[in-house]
Amino acid sequence: MSYDKALNRVLDTVKPHIGEGQVADYIPALAKVPPQRFGFAIYGCDGDISSIGDADVAFSIQSISKAFALAFVMSGRNPADIWRRVWREPSGTPFNSTVQLESDNGVPRNPFINAGALVITDMLVSDHGPGGAIAAILGFMQLISGAQSVSIDKEVAASELATGHKNYGLAHTLKSFGNLENDVDDVMRVYAHQCALTMTASQLAAAGVFLARGGYDPIRKSQVTSNEVVRRVNALMLTCGHYDAAGDFAFRVGLPGKSGVGGGILAIIPDQASLAVWSPGLDQYGNSLVGTLALETFVEVTGTEIL
């Protein structure tokens, strides 16, 4: 089935549900996003591109950025240096939970819960400096999406910094266990800006295609990172990309996927395509309700073989 046809089938299925779920409001600037949005874009490994709905409307990618930050950091570091500071196990807890970090002696369960993402951001800050880390991750996203218009929404970043008490708590706990090299404020500032990256579903699908192609970027015809890094980022997306709903997402969709509270989800079909869906209403786990249904419908109607 062609991607266009599959996307039309997906839209037919999700249409009655568009607007369902709760738009994130714990970051006040995100609460302003209209819930009726829905966009879905596909970037095929063979260059076949297709999209439907609001695929060219920019949204806050939030925690989807954690998958890209991890790939970026892994590309420049010795693996042992990363994996002594963060584990690779599903946490079974909400993305911003503070519960395990203390009893686990300041070592987060995985790089996609906020505690683990803060450790990865700390590595970004160590590698590029407090002044250069935001520009480095923004530059990486512009490069791999092939879109200079990818930007950071300063209002969303400021809004998160003004209200992000739990994340400050996590960062201070990491620091107290010696698992943060840089100042809490510097790490938090870079983390909030990274989460405030603003992209369209079409740009996000393009940015993710290297994860479907063993690290090769067909847009610029060059290797972004190694196959080994991609294999590991995809494994973590499958097992930890949806927090305490990771098992349910794997059961329903079966693809490596990373969600964000802006309502976006990036999903990868290895050797086939990168998929990006956006619908702002979230389920109780903070994952896009209609976005998940859209991906589940996509794999069903296309008969995508997984794993």
The residues that touch ligand GLN, with contacts defined as CB under 6 A, are 62-63, 95-96, 114, 160, 167, 195, 260-261, 286
Cβ proximity to ligand GLN, 188 vs 212, nearer residue: 188
Closest approach of ligand GLN to the CB of residue 1, in Å: 31
Cβ proximity to ligand GLN, 4 vs 25, nearer residue: 25
As a whole number of angstroms, the distance between CA 264 and CA 67 comes to: 13
Active-site pick, 243, 253, 258, 288: 243
Active-site pick, 50, 51, 60, 63: 63
* DSSP state, residue 237: H
3-class SS shares of the chain: helix, strand, coil, % to 5: 50, 15, 35
Closest approach of ligand GLN to the CB of residue 66, in Å: 8
Closest approach of ligand GLN to the CB of residue 169, in Å: 12
Cβ proximity to ligand GLN, 29 vs 250, nearer residue: 29
Active-site pick, 3, 66, 253, 259: 66
Which residue from 118, 109, 73, 114 is spatially nearest to 91, judged by alpha carbons?
A: 109
As a whole number of angstroms, the distance between CA 137 and CA 176 comes to: 26
C-alpha pair distances (Å), 84 with each of 59, 87, 91, 95, 236: 34, 7, 17, 21, 16
285 phi/psi in degrees, rounded to 5: -95, 0
Active-site pick, 191, 230, 253, 274: 191
Is 15 a catalytic site residue?
A: no
Cβ proximity to ligand GLN, 63 vs 91, nearer residue: 63
Q: Are strands 197-199 and 59-60 parallel, antiparallel or unpaired?
A: antiparallel
Is 191 a catalytic site residue?
A: yes
Q: How far apart are the first and last CA of the chain?
A: 20
Closest approach of ligand GLN to the CB of residue 243, in Å: 7
Is 63 a catalytic site residue?
A: yes
Cβ proximity to ligand GLN, 159 vs 234, nearer residue: 159
Closest approach of ligand GLN to the CB of residue 167, in Å: 5
DSSP per residue, 48-86: -EEEEESTTS-EE-GGGHHHHHHHHHHHTS-HHHHHTTS
Indicate which residues carry an active-site annotation: 63, 66, 191, 243, 261
